[in-house]
Amino acid sequence: MKLALVCLASLLVAGQTLGAPGKCGRQPPAKQGRPNFVVILTDDQDQLMNSLDYQPYVKRHLIDEGTSFSKYYTTSATCCPSRVSMWVGQFAHNHNVTDENRPHGSYYKFQAGHLDNNWLPLWLQEEGYSNNYIGKFINGVDKSNTAAPKGWEHFEPLVSPGIYNFSNPIFSLNGGPIESFPGVYQTDLILNKSLARIDAVAQKKDTPFLLVISPTAPHDEIQEDGTFTPPVPAERHRHLFPDAQVPRTPNFNPAVQDKVGWMRDLPLLSALQVEEIDHHYRQRLRALQATDELVDSVVKRLKDRDLLDNTYLIYTTDNGYHLGQHRLFAGKQTPMENDINIPFIIRGPGIGKKLVKSNPATHSHFPATVLDLAGIKRPATLDATSLFDPAHTESFNVEFWNNQFTEGGSTVRHKQNSYKALRLISQKHNLYYSVWCTHEHEFYDMKADPHQLSNKYSTTDQRVLDRLDALVTVLHDCKADVCKFPWQSIHKDGQVKSLDDALEAKYDAFYRALPKFRFKSCKVYYDADNEGAE
């Protein structure tokens, strides 16, 4: 079994660059020969406002040396749900950490669900890995709740109120006493701690390791009164990029706002707000510079310790961010592309260099990807396959159950922001279909309308909408293989494997007759009785 898995991974990964299926015959790595993983996980970094263009070391060490996934997504655009999906390999409706704070989210909800009984760190540890975490884990790690979850040898999270204060990081190691570092720039301290961990794991030659490095940048700073303000860069980066502006894509503060629900009623942003947005943007780019330097130092240290060649280095974030698109001021939590499409770049043994892959994938694909690369059998509970799986994912639901929180000074909460948004991406299609708790719908054909400017729900072929709605129904409460192969659960005979198969005219009557997905009401948490096909 292990041989088959490793074979698959190396064939797929290496096949791209080397075109060498012969590689497939090699032995699975012995436990001692297993690869290491270093994951750099930023907070709220956008893919679509070009932040990566301002990170030359990410380009040099990751983009040019590895493979970028251009269609990588979070399926719940806010930190806790997204980060939890990444480590447990499940969509938010299965782990049910759906919010930032108690009672429906945070570390408290994670603990109540005992999610650390069945997650990637534990699966790796069982195979002999030394797991290390430094930086932001999730909200709710606070001074009275620092107990480490299972699976880590070295768990050193940022502790509230030091998570979102760039100049006063607070840590606790393995649930021990808290340590504050007033006046020290958070990312730089995280770098120093990370280098020390690399030195420590390098001592144990036969032990493979996972090291997660998670600085808070470019997330907003949060003031003591709860106000969100733009992130604070390191002193040495304060004056960079004085002319940078949010890219003026067609969806930036558009004259025509063709949206549903609370987004429909957003007024045009004023000139003053646009100025604030551009300032916010520059602060994000500046704050990302220390992260970029961190990438360089980490790569150099791995190289110095002779670890780089056997290490997968991954750069990603928890969720995306909007600044001005669709007249949204600042924040995330909408199903719009800016909030959900995020960077994911990987380099390492057998991974193609300077490649961009466009098969869709999500944070729920992360554990299977790591396990495949490590040659470890995947558990059955995973909702998604590996990024490199030839049976590519075609669609997934973006799911959210809460109000929307607007950041950057004015802390507005927009109500009725619970939705399912289906993304379906293949060679031929790039579609978005959503059902909101207000009973409104949206449809964007993103090949024709990549900026989601024109909601075509009322003029789109009902045959297409019927199929997409059926997918939402299946995916909204799917588990494991049903999430991976949703068409097969609609067509048990296995004859339908893609939207194009399903669009055959012989299925029209079947899809027309299917009950449609709806929410009974707008709730701020996942209540299974409140949603489904009628």
Ligand X SMILES: *[C@@H]1O[C@H](CO)[C@@H](O)[C@H](O)[C@H]1NC(C)=O
Closest approach of Cβ 346 to ligand X, in Å? 27
Whose structure tokens read 């074979």?
A: 7
Strand locations in 280-384 (E)? 311-317, 344-347, 355-357, 361-362
The active-site residue out of 79, 80, 478, 483 is 79
Q: DSSP for 150-201, please give it.
A: TT-SEEEEB-BTSSS-TT--EEESTT--EEE-TTS-HHHHHHHHHHHHHHHH
Q: 165 or 473, CB closer to ligand X?
A: 165
**Is the preceding peptide bond at 103 cis, omega within 30 degrees of 0?**
yes
The yes or no reply on residue 405 touching ligand X (CB under 6 A) is no
**Residue 237: strand, helix, or coil:** helix
The yes or no reply on residue 457 touching ligand X (CB under 6 A) is no
Across-strand partners of 229? 221
Interface with ligand X (CB under 6 A), residue from 17, 111, 125, 167: 167
Closest approach of Cβ 523 to ligand X, in Å? 9
Encoded tokens for 506: 């012989």
The question of whether 79 is a catalytic residue gets the answer yes
Interface with ligand X (CB under 6 A), residue from 182, 250, 390, 515: 182
User: Which listed range, 129-137, 184-192, 208-216, 375-383, lies at the site for ligand X (CB under 6 A)?
Assistant: 184-192
Interface with ligand X (CB under 6 A), residue from 65, 221, 292, 318: 221
Q: Which residue is nearest to ligand X (CB)?
A: 168
The yes or no reply on residue 188 touching ligand X (CB under 6 A) is yes
The yes or no reply on residue 304 touching ligand X (CB under 6 A) is no
Closest approach of Cβ 138 to ligand X, in Å? 15
Across-strand partners of 73? 341, 362
- The C-alpha R_g of the chain, in whole angstroms, comes to 22
Which residues inside 236-275 make contact with ligand X, applying CB under 6 A?
Answer: none
The yes or no reply on residue 165 touching ligand X (CB under 6 A) is yes
Taken in order 403, 482, 376, 61, the sign of the CA dihedral is negative
Beta strand 355-357 with 67-69: parallel, antiparallel or unpaired? parallel
The yes or no reply on residue 8 touching ligand X (CB under 6 A) is no
The yes or no reply on residue 117 touching ligand X (CB under 6 A) is no
Q: Measure CA 293 to chain center.
A: 22
Which uninterrupted H or E stretch holds 222?
Answer: strand 221-222
Neighbours of 157 (CB within 10 A): 26
Closest approach of Cβ 103 to ligand X, in Å? 5
Interface with ligand X (CB under 6 A), residue from 104, 357, 414, 484: 104
Q: 96 or 434, CB closer to ligand X?
A: 96
Strand locations in 355-429 (E)? 355-357, 361-362, 395-400, 404-405, 413-414, 419-425
Answer yes or no: are the C-beta atoms of 59 and 66 closer than 8 Å: no
- H helices present in 460-528, as ranges: 462-476, 480-484, 486-490, 499-502, 508-513
User: Which listed range, 282-290, 356-364, 381-389, 520-528, lies at the site for ligand X (CB under 6 A)?
Assistant: 520-528
How many residues at the interface with ligand X, by CB under 6 A? 18
Closest approach of Cβ 104 to ligand X, in Å? 4
Interface with ligand X (CB under 6 A), residue from 8, 24, 173, 189: 189
Closest approach of Cβ 25 to ligand X, in Å? 45
The yes or no reply on residue 409 touching ligand X (CB under 6 A) is no
Closest approach of Cβ 533 to ligand X, in Å? 16
The yes or no reply on residue 223 touching ligand X (CB under 6 A) is yes
Interatomic CA distance for residues 508 and 491, integer angstroms: 13
Answer yes or no: are the C-beta atoms of 272 and 329 closer than 8 Å: no
Site residues (CB under 6 A) for ligand X?
96, 103-104, 165, 167-168, 182, 184, 188-189, 192, 221, 223-224, 525-528
Active site residues: 79
